[in-house]
Structure 1
Amino acid sequence: MESDGRSARFWPSTGLLERAVVSSSQYETYGPGHPAHPDHPYPEPYAYGSPDTYGYPDTYLPAYAHASWPSDAATLPRQAVPLAPTADMPSPADPSTDPSADPFAGPSVPGGRAEARRAARRRRTAERPDVRKLLPQALVVAFLAGGTSAFVADDKAVELTVDGRPRTLHTFADDVGELLADEGVRVGAHDVVSPTPGTALDSGEEVAVRYGRPVRLTLDGQRSTVWTTARTVEEALREFGVRAEGAYLSVPRGRPIGRAGLALDVRTERAVTVMADGRARTIRTNAATAGETVEEAGITLRGQDALSVPAGSFPRDGQTVTVMRITGTKEVREESIAFEVRRTPDPGLFRGTEVVERAGEPGLRRVTYALRTVNGVRQKPRRLRDEVVREPRTQVVKVGTKPLPMSVRGADHLNWQGLAHCESGGRPAAVDPSGTYGGLYQFDTRTWQSLGGSGRPQEASAAEQTFRAKRLYVRRGASPWPHCGSRLQG
């Protein structure tokens, strides 16, 4: 046995040489005409290569025919393949034409019988088994047998199920993750592997991979995206904990869920109470809207009838929906529009005096109201629209700015406060029950205006009323106040 893992054996009965190359698991066989054969008549001095067991270099070994070994050393075959001599080496003598020719002796050389005897001794020596030569060959067989045992021990039979498709295979992987990598099975964050990827593998292990699938779920009006390893809609509903009995499903329960996922709309069965016409009806429904729920309860909406919740809203479990029976009419009303008052300063009038130059006139508006009754109860009128029939006319008032004189000769020394207290209780805006007299001194309108006053006396300031009363006293004395005039003197 050499360092490169090769051994050789010569078989005299066939004239062939077998060489086992352990490193490549092959036999290489040579015939008598090959330079590596022990009986070659012209051994050549090779320039490179290490000698083999028989003293010949192994340089030519890969160049000649050989037979491959299988992996199991216990069944290694041996096949001898004689090689025809090449053109650059001499051919052995042919016994059919030369009876004295020996196929192992090579061509005739000088020496006669002595040389023949030496050749016979060489043949007997070659036929004798050599323990030193057989030992390396036995070691090779033992090495291969041990390697085969280890090979068989590392091989594991496992069952791999990928997304529901099982298959049995043999593997040398040490753990689940290595097995998946060897089989090209890629898993993501939403996939489930059982047992976990770090679990050690034993023969007979069952490994399951379930791929995650996105489901765009709308459950009772609430939208979300959830991941599942379920392969059908029914399995996914169980995984989500959704009660499917009596529920509406947008797709059949048995529909498969592909790797790309699907959109699923689920409306579970709910208990909803409908109040209408003084009666309550509780039904179980998977309707999508409150309007559909009212229809399922056998209630018909007419005219202006409405619901207590938006008709398109989602009905919740335990919710009460009230039907409002509405009747309504329209009513047109005429309303007055107040006029504006515009005041302009007038230096010809005493301060505190206002004179209406142009009387204002209110406008007229026509308003349309909606009158409704809900379940027999009249509601507050609702204003629908309005239009102006007549625009209001602005009132123009002149406002005096002239300073008011406080003194009237012949009347300043009198007790005007006492007179005012007797006539009106000292109130400038006082008016008698008949509406004829007004102010501190109870002027009638005609007398007031004859004294230079404007409007009505009770609308003027107290100072102006006293000034006008003094002027009246100068004209007529105390006669305009027959009951209280005496107060002027005291």
Structure 2
Amino acid sequence: MFVAAGAALALVVVGGGTAYAMDNSVTLDNDGEQQTVHTFGGTVQDVLDSADITLGENDAVAPSPDTEIGTGDHVLVRSQRDLTVEIDGHEVSGGVHAATLEEGLPQLGLDPEGVELSEDLGAEIPEEGLDVTAERAPRMVVMYDTVRTEVRTTGETVQDVLDAAGTEPGEHDIVSPEPEEEATDGMVVDITPVLGEPEVEEVPIEAEEVEEEDPDLPEGEREVVTEAEDGVKEVTTATILRNGEEHEHQLREEVITEPVDGLVKVGTQQEEGSAPEGGGAAGDLNWAGLAECESGGDPTAVNSAGGYYGLYQFSEQTWQSVGGTGLPSEASPDEQTQRAQQLYNAVDGNWQSQWPVCGVHLHQ
């Protein structure tokens, strides 16, 4: 059995008075029972005498009997009572001068916030004594930058953990998890100190400009539908302490005005009668023969393996290189032929580089 050595009464009494030859009204707390005592005396002993209280050998009183008191002061009297706490497989016990568990536990060297008890903290300790069981409260850690404080607490929130550790973050300090979040066994609460006052700056949010093809506009013509407008955000920065060193850190940002993206329509309509450049030497070649070999003469043909389209089985990349838009298989047969002739001219008649198998039909 473990007996707390030197268990002493630790009571706080508000006020200290000066004796006057008048009726003093004093609150007397005798083992948790309070009463108002009137006395013409000016000391704690006079209050005890007026209340017909004689201190026993093991009783304690605060303030001491010879302390001067006055109206509005408090006097506490506590008899010695046995308190036994079974915790972590052993007992902590001793005589305490306490009316409740909350008063008695510190006299046994136990933190009321650091244990979970079988009785409420406000439970009275009867004259015959009290036995309770307890479990150590969950262990938690508070890190104030590099300063570590370990606590045990039954508190339910991070703020309760901070209170148990005696840590009060500064106004702008960063606490993670946030104070209102739930406390969990073994958690580590990190506090990042913020040095000085944060600074707030307005920063533009760049708007984007989106281009959209419009077949109703002449090719190359641009029409602004919506002007792009930049937004604004407030960025708050501060100097923080991290691992003992100062760093600039962004605390938060808040969008004040959302950006408005611009929209520009780009015309793709070709003038009537216009066509991609073809003809020339290429115009006299056997394009029908090439088309029959490549696609069976089907302008909407799509290679089963994917990636090649139309009469002449253009890839999208090659089609775009000669000015085509969309898919080749969606263009008219005339446009496909003119684009193919344009390609032939662009490669200086090197048909083998474009149609290595069927290109021979061009010259038959």
- Superposition TM-score, scaled by structure 1 size: 0.28
- Superposition TM-score, scaled by structure 2 size: 0.36
Larger strand proportion of the pair = 2
Give the greater-gyration-radius structure (CA): 1
Higher RCO structure (Cα 8 Å, ≥6 apart): 2
